[in-house]
Amino acid sequence: MSKLLGNTRELFVKAMEGVSDAAAKLASNAKYKVTEVNLTTRRREILENFGKKCYDLWNQGTQFPPEVEAELAELADIDEQINTLKAEHFSYLNPELEKELQEKQSENESESEVDEIIFNEEVDEKILENSNEEIIEEIVNETDDNQK
């Protein structure tokens, strides 16, 4: 009987060691996955910010290798197409606003600078929420602030 109890105790201890090893492996795998996800997310954030910084520097006149310059130029073309598309869309939705913006545009500054200010995402939301006069005043004020 004592031998049976000894064997049962030994089996129980080995089973507990097995469970403990399995739990340690699961914890190690979970820690690995969390670390991997965190590092991958941070890498993605850095690459996203890196691209934005390169684009900003390129717009400010910094020279890059020809391969990068070609992609940055393509990105600028796409931005131009997006701005044109937004301009067409909002002029269709609100022809009065488009007319007033064109008048203010000719009074204040060049077309490309106004397009850059007018058709950012914040102004897109304001166009849908505010009246025409408030929008035009805000755009003109932003333009004046940017020129300073």
d(CA 3, CA 11): 12
d(CA 106, CA 116): 15
Residues 104 and 140: beta-carbon distance below 8 Å: yes
Which position has the higher pLDDT, 42 or 95?
42
Amino acid at 17: E
d(CA 81, CA 124): 16
pLDDT in tens, 40-79: 999 999 988 998 899 899 999 999 999 999 999 999 999 8
pTM: 0.43
Number of residues written out for the chain: 148
Residues 90 and 101: beta-carbon distance below 8 Å: no
Give me the residue spans of the domains in the chain: 1-62, 66-148
Within 60-131, residue ranges assigned H as helices are 66-93, 95-108, 111-118, 121-129
How is 98-109 classified by DSSP, letter by letter?
HHHHHHHHHHHS
pLDDT in tens, 100-143: 666 666 665 444 444 454 445 555 555 555 455 565 666 666 65
